[in-house]
Amino acid sequence: MNANNPFARLPEAATFTVTSADVTDGAAWSPAQLSAGVPGGKDVSPQLSWSGAPEGTKSYAVTVYDPDAPTGSGFWHWAVADIPATVTELPAGAGDDTGSGLPEGAFQLPNDARLARYIGAAPPAGHGPHRYFVVVHALGVESIGVPAEATPAFLGFTIAGHILGRAVLTATAETSA
């Protein structure tokens, strides 16, 4: 599971801390964070708190990405841009259809299912374990300047030019054959 490191070709960035009441680094997602399309899944975005971002941070972005999806390009589950630098927490469920738990000015980009919301994990049956990188990106700009309809991949490309720090939790999921 160490192959296909999504950060291998990205700019180096300082690290800081992200924690969650819903995600334990290296452990399986709780059922709430799984897709509603799997038994017990609820498509609830995880609670996230972060601290220790680098000096000069002017905003944050949050992404959830599965590099192990059988697509050739992974699968983006959630992307949030323009989180103000004064915000250091998102409540569970912030990534619902309305984004009601997001701070003013922040917005969700369409995920790879083309929904501007969080969509939970649902690896194909028998495909083996998948990793889900939950990342808080500390940025040196107040607005990342991507349109709301942009893809998470485009957001990631744009982030690379403004990244100051990166805080990462990794969750896992597997669906039995």
Structural domain includes residue 103: yes
CA distances to 79, 104, 105, 142, 163 from 83, in Å: 11, 8, 7, 8, 14
CATH of the domain at 19: 3.90.280.10
Classify residue 9: in a domain, yes or no.
Answer: no
Q: What pLDDT was estimated at residue 59?
A: 98
Residue 25 domain boundaries: 14-173
CA R_g for the chain? 15
pLDDT for position 127: 92
Per-residue confidence at 164, pLDDT binned at 50, 70, 90?
very high
Handedness of CA 9, 11, 12, 14 (dihedral sign): negative
Give the mean pLDDT of 60-78.
95
Closest CA to 118 of 104, 137, 98, 139: 98
The answer to the question of residue 5 being in a domain is no
Q: Which pLDDT does position 4 carry in this prediction?
A: 79
**Count of domains observed in the chain:** 1
Asked whether residue 62 is domain-assigned, the answer is yes
pLDDT band of residue 7 (cuts 50, 70, 90) is confident
What's this model's pTM, rounded to 2 decimal places?
0.96
- From 58, 7, 4, 2, select the one nearest 160 (Cα to Cα): 7
How many other CB atoms are found less than 10 A from the CB of residue 130?
23
* SS3 label, residue 155: helix
Q: What is the pLDDT of residue 47?
A: 98
Beta pairing, strands 89-90 & 107-108: unpaired
pLDDT in tens, 101-121: 999 999 999 999 999 999 999
Alpha carbons 90 and 19: distance in angstroms, whole number: 11
Does any domain span residue 8? no
Q: What is residue 92's DSSP assignment?
A: T
Is the pLDDT at 53 greater than 50, yes or no? yes
Examine residue 56 and state whether it is found in any structural domain, yes or no: yes
Tell me the pLDDT tens digit for each residue of 118-154: 999 999 989 999 999 999 999 999 999 999 999 999 9
Whether 72 is covered by a domain: the verdict is yes
44 in a structural domain: yes
How does residue 1 score in pLDDT terms, banded at 50, 70 and 90? very low
Determine what percent of the chain is predicted with pLDDT higher than 70: 98
